[in-house]
């Protein structure tokens, strides 16, 4: 394990900067993308604070949590925070989810006019039953003609590129990823992200990477691979085996957001983990007016997982109801883990986040 003192500067993200001195890894239309590792859009996870942290650590662009345009169109269950993004997140895309092409296009036009994202991503991958069963998310892969309409209409409604995140198909009997990808590209998609599972698999079983390689060899636009990448070594393996332009990382980033700096979680010293925890918790507070303690638990559980804490101690931390109770326990834990100066650990990570 690599250790630094609590006051040492943090390692810089090991990816190409956005400086004109470097060439982009690929482009989405005319939008240059620097870097080959990307945070996946995850409902309840990819909020503005977490996205900003992963961008600082090296993620090549940011994508919002999905915007359900059915909700957006009637202003119900509609969260403004899903549209919020930091200027340093550019390129920033907003992901749209629905089963109604015209409603998606109308919403895209309104969203672009107000928020000016750099691109829009179309969700053909969400496998949650209540979404897919109404023909949205991966359910759209059962109606390829509707996919064509979505891209046609949204392309007419906004002046920025469109991308798509999709799966292999609805189930093993309908592996139509190539057909749907062709339709999307023919109607204006500028990049394809393929998750190597079907909708029925959800996140079970093993992701197949061969279809990613197939799309990369066949399509004229960038292809981003997704599925079962949890370490830098696996990211390199996917890039090598499939030839894809970039790798999108979802669940693996929860435990190790440092993966976007090509770092194993075992290489990250406790002082840096503590600094990130403190920074992220504070950054979440403006987005959660009812308090950040509860929504932060899912992140905290993942960050603490490598320490293999006794279950009773982990549960005591994760069930703390007040900020003072939570950080009293966290301070004790990280002192035990060898963080000699908690204030210095917080300050070092704050400085890291301020200096891009």
Q: What amino acid positions are annotated as catalytic residues?
A: 126
Residue 356 DSSP SS3:
coil
Q: Which two tokens stand for residue 76?
A: 């119900």
Alpha carbon distance 69, 75 (integer Å)? 9
DSSP letter at 26?
Answer: E
Alpha carbon distance 119, 316 (integer Å)? 42
Alpha carbon distance 187, 152 (integer Å)? 6
Alpha carbon distance 98, 131 (integer Å)? 8
Alpha carbon distance 266, 255 (integer Å)? 11
Q: Which residue has the tokens 């969400």?
A: 126
Q: Which residue has the tokens 């990369």?
A: 216
Which residues lie closer than 8 Å to 240 by C-beta, 6 or more apart?
none
- Exposed/middle/buried for residue 125 (C-beta within 10 Å: 0-12, 13-18, 19+): buried
Q: Which residue has the tokens 């189930």?
A: 171
Element (H, E) at 189: strand 189-195
Contacts 24+ apart (CB under 8 A), 322-331: 322/293, 323/281, 323/291, 323/292, 323/293, 326/293, 327/278, 330/274, 330/277
Spatial CA neighbour of 110 closest among 66, 154, 147: 154
Spatial CA neighbour of 77 closest among 92, 89, 87, 67: 67
Strands 67-68 and 92-97: parallel
Number of H helices, E strands in the chain: 14, 11
């Amino acid at each position: 394990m690599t250790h630094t003192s609590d006051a040492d500067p943090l390692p810089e993200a090991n990816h190409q900067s956005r400086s004109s001195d470097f060439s982009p890894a690929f482009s989405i239309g005319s939008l240059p993308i620097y870097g080959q590792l990307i945070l996946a859009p995850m409902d309840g996870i990819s909020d503005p604070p977490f996205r900003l942290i992963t961008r600082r650590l090296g993620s090549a662009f940011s994508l919002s949590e999905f915007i359900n345009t059915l909700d957006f169109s009637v202003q119900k269950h509609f969260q403004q925070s899903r549209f919020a993004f930091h200027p340093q997140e550019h390129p920033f895309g907003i992901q749209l989810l629905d089963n109604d092409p015209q409603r998606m296009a109308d919403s895209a036009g309104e969203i672009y006019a107000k928020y000016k994202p750099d691109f829009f991503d179309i969700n053909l991958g969400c496998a949650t039953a209540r979404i897919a069963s109404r023909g949205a998310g991966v359910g759209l892969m059962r109606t390829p003609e509707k996919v064509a309409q979505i891209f046609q209409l949204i392309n007419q409604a906004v002046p920025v590129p469109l991308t798509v995140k999709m799966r292999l198909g609805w189930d093993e009997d309908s592996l139509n990823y190539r057909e749907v990808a062709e339709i999307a590209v023919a109607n204006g998609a500028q990049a394809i992200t393929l998750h190597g599972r079907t909708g029925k698999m959800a996140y079970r079983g093993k992701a197949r990477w061969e279809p990613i390689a197939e799309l990369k060899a066949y399509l004229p636009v960038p292809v981003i691979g997704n599925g079962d990448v949890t370490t830098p070594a696996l990211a390199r393996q996917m890039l090598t085996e499939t030839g894809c332009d970039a790798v999108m990382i979802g669940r693996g980033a929860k435990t190790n957001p440092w993966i976007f700096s090509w770092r194993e979680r075992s290489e990250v010293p406790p002082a840096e983990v503590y600094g990130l925890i403190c920074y992220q918790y504070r950054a979440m507070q403006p987005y959660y007016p009812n308090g950040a303690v509860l929504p932060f638990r899912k992140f905290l559980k993942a960050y603490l997982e490598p320490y293999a804490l006794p279950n009773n101690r982990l549960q005591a931390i994760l069930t703390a109801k007040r900020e003072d109770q939570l950080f009293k326990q966290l301070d004790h834990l990280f002192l035990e883990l060898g963080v000699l100066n908690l204030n210095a650990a917080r300050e070092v990570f704050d400085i890291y986040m301020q200096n891009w």
